[in-house]
Amino acid sequence: MSDVLVVAEHRRGELRDISYEAVTAGRELADARDGELGVAVIGGEVDAFAEDLNREGVDAIYTVDDGEEFDHNAYQAAIAALLDRTDAGTVVTPNSVNGLDYAPAVAEDRGLPLVTDAIGFEYDGGLTVTREMYGSKVETTVDVDGDGHVLTVRGGEWPPAEGVGDATVESVEIDLPESGARVTGFEEVGGGDVDIADADVLVSVGRGIEEEENLELVEGLADALGATLSASRPIVDNGWLPKNRQVGQSGKVVTPDVYIAVGISGAVQHVAGMKGSDTIVAINTDPNAPIFDIADYGIVGDLFEVVPALVDEFA
Amino acid sequence: MKVLVTVKEVAEADDDFAIEGTDIAASDLEYDLNEWDDYAVEAAVQLAEAGVADEVVTVTVGPERAEETIRMALAKGADRAVRVWDDAFEEGFADVGAKVSTIEAVLEAEEPDLVLGGVQAADTGFGATGVALAERIGFEHAAVVNQLDVDADAGVAHVHRELEGGVEELTDVDLPAVLTVQTGLNEPRYASLRGIRQAQRKEIDAKDLSDLGLTAEDVESALEITSMYEPESESDAEIIEGDAGEAAGRLAEVLRDKGVSA
């Protein structure tokens, strides 16, 4: 029961980076529990993925060959079978859109406690997980009952596993259920006139702009600076700007020379899409807004005063 | 078909807040309808308006205070509401399993064909109740749905799931199903004055655990919050001081330094 099973994630023929981060988290937990680390590769190019995942610290890799696309029923059945035939008591998965499509079902099916979106943990006879609440305003520590758990880990919190390991690779045959959820295709969103990922300077607008009419203000700033206009999720959800302008986990990842965040609080999903920018400027009324944690320059103030003043500077 | 919507009243912390014990001080919290659930309510009401759904019922695990939020969902067009609360929930932090057990008991009486709920609650952010519920009651499911087309005759929901990086997965989900709804799925309406008046006459059925045939043991949590703290700021930002004009002047210098100009 002390062993840990990490579930890798892939999409359209590629392993996703978070798989390697989950391996690091899984190894950490296995070490603390004095257990072994197994990695499950379910569906897709399982042999090639198994080779890539054979990193330092991985003891065993289990491949379950099943179709190309993600199917949560296949994942659930495969993980259940692996928990039955190995000594793994704890399952670690990415806290991703797909991870959250099967991990809660695995926990429910196996009667295991579930903690999602972990950003850290300790194990000292029992599991204590660190996670955020209230929109990243606070962190909490959560004690989890029992020996077995399902844990989903946030991307970017653990370094990716590196090196080459000497894991055993085992192909596992599993009777998979006929699935009531069938992937029929994919759509790329966010095409169109502008690719914000190409811009050197981005003026990015968030919820603080309050009303659609006020967008003129940041459009004026973008013009004055020769910058491209982008946005955080709420602006796109409201239909004020098209999806191809959205920066963040579900939008575009951008790395401009200068990123100016106007009225953006800096939720983790947004930060995931822009933290690689060379210089980050934040203008926000809330001095505790998480955007200031990653900013190089900040103005704590009212964007409706600061932005017009900045436009004047460049007029 | 009958559509059930899970609706949560969530707490948002004020800009300035104090932590008391393992939670934010009640006086520093504001309560509101969970943003994701607002989109789920809208999706259900649209199904009713399109003649696909015959009845839209909301279910909430929450104290009496939550009735204001529930009335908002009723004012937007839900037909009636069930609210479950019990002293047992005051004891600590309800985990996903506890919530699923409670909602499961409501579903046994309601027998919906489709369950909609938000991807996650804004305050606790677990993002797990919908999928765990589907597993418990033997429904199909899809998480993080940002486009929805229900074909009731064929018994299928054609959905888009919003993956990371601007990619959507197109999936056919057999009904009955639980779908978790992402923001941006639709444009949630504002309640009309007429809707608000009508909501006053709609039923909110308040139940405790024993009404549902459950005991405190059925909602025992495997999780306990042992501490809460403000994360240490890792900021090494240069905070530019002064009034708006002065700050803008200094920022303009910085930007010109970085080569920014029209």
A90 within 8 A of A153, measured Cβ to Cβ: no
Compute the half-sphere exposure of residue A24: CA atoms within 13 Å on the CB side of its CA.
17
Q: Å from A128 to nearest chain B CA?
A: 9
Q: In whole angstroms, give the CA distance from residue A27 to residue A240.
A: 44
Q: B244 and chain A: CB distance < 8 Å anywhere?
A: yes
Q: A249 and chain B: CB distance < 8 Å anywhere?
A: yes
- Minimum mean pLDDT range among A97-106, A244-253, B55-64: A244-253
Radius of gyration of chain B (CA): 22
Q: B115 and chain A: CB distance < 8 Å anywhere?
A: no
B169, B170, B179, B221: best mutation site toward chain A, by most A Cβ within 10 Å? B169
A225/B183 CB distance under 8 A: no
Q: A163 and chain B: CB distance < 8 Å anywhere?
A: no
At A92 the three-state DSSP class reads: strand
Q: Which of residues 36-95 of B touch A (CB under 8 A)?
A: 93, 95
CB atoms within 10 A of CB A300: 19
- For residue B32, what pLDDT is reported? 97
- For residue B165, what pLDDT is reported? 87
At B188 the three-state DSSP class reads: coil
- Spell out the residues 6+ positions from residue A144 whose beta carbon is closer than 8 angstroms to its own: A113, A115, A126, A127, A128, A129, B222, B223
Torsion of CA A145, A149, A150, A154, to 10 degrees: 70
Report residue A193 as tokens.
């006139």
Q: Which residue of A has its CA nearest to B183?
A: A237
A233/B184 CB distance under 8 A: yes
* Eight-state DSSP code of residue A252: B
Q: In whole angstroms, give the CA distance from residue A2 to residue B46.
A: 49
Strand segments (E) across B203-253: 204-207, 223-229, 238-239
What residues of B are in contact with residue A142 (Cβ under 8 Å)? Answer: 93, 223-226
A258/B255 CB distance under 8 A: yes
Which amino acid, residue B125?
Answer: G
Q: In whole angstroms, give the CA distance from residue A113 to residue A128.
A: 12
Q: What is the mean pLDDT of residues B238-254?
A: 94
- For residue A68, what pLDDT is reported? 81
Rounded to an integer, what is the distance from CA B217 to the centroid of its chain?
Answer: 25
Please give the ipTM for the structure prediction. Answer: 0.94
Rounded to an integer, what is the distance from CA A98 to the centroid of its chain?
Answer: 10
- For residue A190, what pLDDT is reported? 67
Model pTM? 0.93
Q: For the segment A190-233, what is each residue's pLDDT rounded down to a tens digit?
A: 667 788 999 999 999 999 999 999 999 999 999 999 999 999 99
Which amino acid, residue A105?
Answer: A
Q: For the segment B109-149, what is each residue's pLDDT rounded down to a tens digit?
A: 999 999 999 999 999 999 999 999 999 999 999 999 999 99
Q: A189 and chain B: CB distance < 8 Å anywhere?
A: yes
Q: Å from A107 to nearest chain B CA?
A: 8
Biggest alpha carbon–alpha carbon distance for chain B: 69
CB atoms within 10 A of CB A306: 24
What residues of A are in contact with residue B173 (Cβ under 8 Å)? Answer: 180-181
Q: Å from B54 to nearest chain A CA?
A: 24
Give ∠ CA B73-B149-B102 in degrees, rounded to 5. 45
Q: B169 and chain A: CB distance < 8 Å anywhere?
A: yes
A37 within 8 A of A23, measured Cβ to Cβ: yes
Strands B156-162 and B140-151, sheet pairing = antiparallel
A101/B262 CB distance under 8 A: no
- Please determine, for residue A67, whether its predicted confidence score (pLDDT) is greater than 90: no
Q: Please, which residues bridge with residue A60 across strands?
A: A38, A168
A248 within 8 A of A269, measured Cβ to Cβ: yes
Strand segments (E) across chain B: 2-6, 9-13, 19-20, 23-24, 29-33, 55-61, 80-84, 114-118, 140-151, 156-162, 167-174, 177-181, 204-207, 223-229, 238-239
Report residue B214 as tokens.
């459950």
- For residue A191, what pLDDT is reported? 65
A292/B249 CB distance under 8 A: no
Q: A217 and chain B: CB distance < 8 Å anywhere?
A: no
- For residue A149, what pLDDT is reported? 97
Give ∠ CA B110-B37-B171 in degrees, rounded to 5. 80
Torsion sign (Cα): B218, B219, B220, B221: positive
Give ∠ CA A237-A239-A241 in degrees, rounded to 5. 100
Nearest to B164 among A137, A225, A250 (CB): A250
Q: For the segment B32-81, what is each residue's pLDDT rounded down to a tens digit?
A: 999 999 999 999 999 999 999 999 999 999 999 999 999 999 999 999 99
Torsion sign (Cα): A71, A77, A81, A82: positive
Q: How many residues does chain A have?
A: 315
* Eight-state DSSP code of residue B259: T
A140/B170 CB distance under 8 A: no
At A59 the three-state DSSP class reads: coil
Strand segments (E) across A156-226: 168-171, 181-188, 201-205
A299/B239 CB distance under 8 A: yes
How many pairs of residues across A and B have Cβ atoms under 8 Å apart?
262
Report residue B231 as tokens.
């994360």
Q: In whole angstroms, give the CA distance from residue A273 to residue B188.
A: 26
Q: How far is CA A35 from CA A38, A56, B104, B162, B223, in A?
A: 10, 15, 36, 36, 23
**Cis (ω within 30 of 0) for the bond into B176?**
yes
What residues of A are in contact with residue B21 (Cβ under 8 Å)? Answer: none
Q: What is the mean pLDDT of residues A141-146?
A: 97
Q: What is the mean pLDDT of residues A257-272?
A: 95
Report residue A219 as tokens.
């459009």
- For residue A194, what pLDDT is reported? 84
Which amino acid, residue A178?
Answer: E
* Cβ density class B93-103: b for 16+ within 10 Å, e for less: bbbbbbbbbbb
Q: For the segment B224-241, what is each residue's pLDDT rounded down to a tens digit?
A: 999 999 988 777 899 999
In the block, tokens 């409706």 appear at A304
Q: In whole angstroms, give the CA distance from residue A277 to residue A254.
A: 7
What residues of B are in contact with residue A96 (Cβ under 8 Å)? Answer: 164
B180 within 8 A of B131, measured Cβ to Cβ: yes
A298/B22 CB distance under 8 A: no
DSSP per residue, A27-80: HHHHHHTT--EEEEEESSSHHHHHHHH--TT--EEEEE---SS--HHHHHHHHH
A19, A106, A142: best mutation site toward chain B, by most B Cβ within 10 Å? A142
B11/A293 CB distance under 8 A: no
B140 within 8 A of A101, measured Cβ to Cβ: no
B184/A293 CB distance under 8 A: no
Q: Å from B137 to nearest chain A CA?
A: 11
Q: For the segment B151-175, what is each residue's pLDDT rounded down to a tens digit?
A: 999 999 999 999 998 899 999 999 9
What residues of B are in contact with residue A143 (Cβ under 8 Å)? Answer: 223-224, 226
